[in-house]
Structure formats: structure tokens, C-alpha cells
Amino acid sequence: MVSILPLSLQSATVDKNGKRLLGPVDLELGNAGLTIVLGPNGAGKSTLLRLLHGLEKPSEGRLRYAAPRPVAYAQQAFVFQTPVMLRRTVLGNLTYPLTAHGTQRTEAQKQALTWLNMIGLAGHESQRASQLSGGERQKLALARALIRAPQLLFLDEPCANLDGASTRDIERLILKARDDGTRILMATHDLGQARRLASDVLFLNKGQIIESGPATAFFETPQTPEAQAFLKGDLVL
Amino acid sequence: MAEIWQGITAAFWLIVTFDADLYEIAARSLLVTCSAVALAALVGLPLGAWLAVSRYRFRRLVIALLNALMGLPPVVVGLVVYLLLSRSGPFGVMGLLFTPWAMIIAQVVILTPLIASIAHQSIRDLWAEYHDLLISLNTTRPQRIKTLLWDSRRALLTAALAGFGRGIGEVGAIMIVGGNIDHVTRVMTTAIALETSKGDFALAIGLGFVLIGLAVAVNLALHMLSGTEVRDRW
């Protein structure tokens, strides 16, 4: 299989309604690991993820994958902060990415049932996805993103508003995906979660990446006053 | 008031005595309208979905025009279809004028913008919800349209039923292109118009009650078959 990584951004910006939301940003995303994107509200975390995934177009600069774009788009997935459920059953939501890309229905259902067991939703396959709890929906959204074994996974605050048990289940799935070789880029507000999961960190403020590097170095010796203030729990203005 | 009571009685007797003429024109009404709704839905539903997911120049204008076409005057549609199908018209050679086919064509012209417009409105809302997800899942535009049509099928049933409601009660266009010929193109609405002009109000109102009953029965049957308004789907 062709690798879509490394992925690079060169002087990329995102402007909307005359306002700069992100950039200019230079970034290279390597082949392995779990990068946590940290920063205060409005720092541009979600915009960065959406730009890298192709949901936003750069106003300036370039986004470059190691593979042609059709291959790159087919090899990545995104989990949104508020999970979007198709108006179908739980099983229908899970089989959708497979059948949409040519997998036979019976094979898709077989794979989906395996995933339902893995995320603890076995027995819910005929239930409408909209009837699941918030945590169950997010697990289903994560399984739907992972079912095609993407090379690159974007997670936009997937545990926001979830309780401890649901967060633990989601983190287990994320770590399993990382161990299975999926490159992960995840935005979060939760410093504890960042410490538990990160192999490296991107710290954003006011649309700029102001610090990046290995997680241990970032958490132990942050270099910028903004990162130091953020880690201390102070307001970052 | 006496006419209404006589009408109810007439409707009752027409039904229980299995009046052949009544069943014939009721069947023809259903055949013409259901065929027109099916054809209009075949065009209108994908058109509504395509308009919802596509971004192009003059999009607003096209949607405004489509909405305006919902109010197409049936008599004008009937006249245009008449001219197209008449012997001297471009499709005169097909010999469709004063046949149920001409009535179906006229109704398709009337119903397609209605169904497309209602479908567009419900699919547009669903597209706003699904937009990022379907793009993220790397689906093609035809796949997105198919997904939106399937997932909004209950709202689209309402669009089709609105089309059915307009079609089954339509008289102007089908009178012009069908001609209200007995045993050939006579349907419920044209029969009611005829009986009214003859002064047989009781029969006319009796036919009217049967027409209303027919429309309600078809709506109920479709709702039951599609499982709408079931408690766990509220």
C-alpha cells in the first residue's frame, strides 16, 4: 500500500470573511506516533485539523501528501467533536464506509459486527444510532473512522463532554489504533489526556504553531511563556 | 345542505353497489396520478438532492425559479402540453392527445417542480448535517446524493404525497389534454366537473366524497407501509 505520509504544510493560511483563522503554518507530519494539538479556545486547533484533512482549503500556501490526493483522501479519517450519526441503525453506520468503497454487504456486516464487539456495542446493531448515549455515539464514530484502517486519523476533541468511563474506552481505542500503525493527530483541551496519550505535541495560539516537539520535553520544559502559562492553568491571552 | 346529505347517500350507494363507472374512473384517476407521481419523483427527487449538494453560479436563482414553478397554473400547463401534442405540434405524430398518456405528461410537468422543491428543502437540511462527514468519508457526489435520498426517505415520502394530493385533485390541465372522454380519459375530477355542469349536484358531491376518501386511503396506506409516526421514530 502506498504511504500518504509524510504530510507537509508550507506557509499555509486559512482566512474566512477577511479574518485569519490560521497561519502561516509550516508543519511536517511523520510516519508514526500520536500528536496532540493543544491550545486555548480559538487557537486554530480544529481549523488545522480540518485543513490537513482537506475539509478546509488553504487560502495561501500548500498542503502536500506523499501520495496523490485521491489516494491520500481515501487513506484518512476524521472524528468530529460532536459525532455525526447517519440516520440509520448502529450496524448501518458502521457498514457505510465499507459499502461506499465497494466492500460486499455481507463482508461489511461481518467486519462491523467484529467492531461492535470491540467497542462494547454488541447487541445494539439494530438500534437506531440516534438513540445511543453520547459516549456510545462517539465510540461508534471512532469505530466508523477506523473500520477501513486509515493511515491517518484526525480526532477533534473526541472526549469533550464525556464521562470518565467513556473517555477511558475511547482512549483505549485510540491507543490500539496507534499501536496498529495509524498515525494520529488529536486536538484536546484536556491536559491530563494529552499527558496520557501524546508522543509529541503541537501548541497553538492565535492561529500560529508556537511550540512543537516530543511530549516529555513539552510538558517538563515548555519553551514559550504561552505554553508555560497554559500548562500552569493560567489564562493564555 | 340537502345536496350534501344526498351526496353522502349517493357516494355510499355507488360504493356498495360496486358501480362499474365509479370504479372505472376511480381506477383511472389512481393510474394517471400514481404514474405521474412516480415519474415526477424519478426526476424531482434526484434533482432536489443534486441542487442541495451542488455549488454553482446562479444557484439561488435556479432554486428561486424552481420554487416559483411550484405554483404553475395547471390550465397553462394543459394548454402548452395540448399544443405540443396536437396534430400540428412537434409531438403530434405520437397521437397522445386525448389519451391517459397526455394526462400523465401534463401532471408530470405540474408535479416535478413541487416534488423537487420540497425534496430540496428537506435534503438541504440533512446535507448541512452530513456535509463534513460525507466529505470526510471520501464519498463521490453520486454516493452523497444516494445517501441523502435514502436517509431522508420519510421526508421525501411527504414530498411524493404532496405531489399525489395535487395530482389527484387536478382538473384544469387534464380536462384540456384528456378531453373528459367517457371510458377513455374520464377521471374523478373531470367527472365531478361534468356532473356539476349538468346540475346533478348529488352525484357530483358523491363523487367528491369518494375522491376525498381515495386520497385519504392512499396517504394512510403509504404511511403504514413506510412505518412513519412509529413511536420509537419520534
- Return averaged pLDDT per consecutive 10 residues of chain A, 237 residues in all: 88 92 90 92 93 94 91 93 94 96 95 94 93 93 95 94 88 94 93 94 94 94 91 79
Per residue, what are the HEC states of chain B? CHHHHHHHHHHHHHHHCCCHHHHHHHHHHHHHHHHHHHHHHHHHHHHHHHHHHCCCCCHHHHHHHHHHHCCCCHHHHHHHHHHHHCCCCCCHHHCCCCCHHHHHHHHHHHHHHHHHHHHHHHHHHHHHHHHHHHHHCCCCHHHHHHHHHHHCHHHHHHHHHHHHHHHHCCCHHHHHHHCCCCCCCCCHHHHHHHHHHHCCHHHHHHHHHHHHHHHHHHHHHHHHHHCCCCHHHC
Q: Is B139 left (phi over 0), alpha (psi -120 to 50) or beta?
A: beta
| Percent of chain A whose pLDDT exceeds 90 | 84
Q: Across the interface, which of B136, B143, B151 has its CB nearest the CB of A86? A: B151
- For chain A, domain boundaries: 7-82+151-164+182-232
**pLDDT-based confidence at B228, cuts 50/70/90?**
low
Query: Is the pLDDT confidence value at B28 over 60?
Result: yes
Query: How many Å lie between the alpha carbon of A73 and the closest alpha carbon of chain B?
Result: 6
DSSP conformation class of A176: H
- What cell was used for A178? 496507534
Q: Across the interface, which of B129, B139, B151 has its CB nearest the CB of A100? A: B139
CATH of A7-82+151-164+182-232, picked from 3.20.20.140, 3.40.50.1100, 3.40.50.300, 3.40.980.10, is 3.40.50.300
B190 vs B183: CA distance, rounded Å: 12
- pLDDT given for residue B18 in this prediction: 80
On chain A, the residues whose CB falls within 8 A of the CB of B135 are 54-55
What global pTM score does this model have?
0.85
SS3 A8: strand
Q: Is A108 left (phi over 0), alpha (psi -120 to 50) or beta?
A: alpha
Q: Across the interface, which of A55, A100, A131 has its CB nearest the CB of B135? A: A55
DSSP conformation class of A127: S
Angle between helices B74-85 and B100-136 (to 10 degrees): 110
Residue ranges of chain A whose CB lies within 8 Å of a chain B CB = 53-55, 73-74, 77-78, 80, 84, 86-88, 96-97, 100-101, 128, 131
**pLDDT-based confidence at B234, cuts 50/70/90?**
very low
- For chain B, domain boundaries: 2-226
B232 vs A7: CA distance, rounded Å: 45
- pLDDT given for residue A187 in this prediction: 96
CATH class of B2-226: mainly alpha
ipTM of predicted assembly, 2 dp: 0.91
A152 vs A73: CA distance, rounded Å: 10
Q: How far apart are the first and last CA of chain B?
A: 41
Q: Is A211 left (phi over 0), alpha (psi -120 to 50) or beta?
A: beta
User: Do B133 and A55 count as a contact with CB atoms less than 8 A apart?
Assistant: no
B165 vs B182: CA distance, rounded Å: 24
- pLDDT given for residue B149 in this prediction: 94
Backbone dihedral angles phi then psi of residue B104, each to the nearest 5 degrees: -65, -45
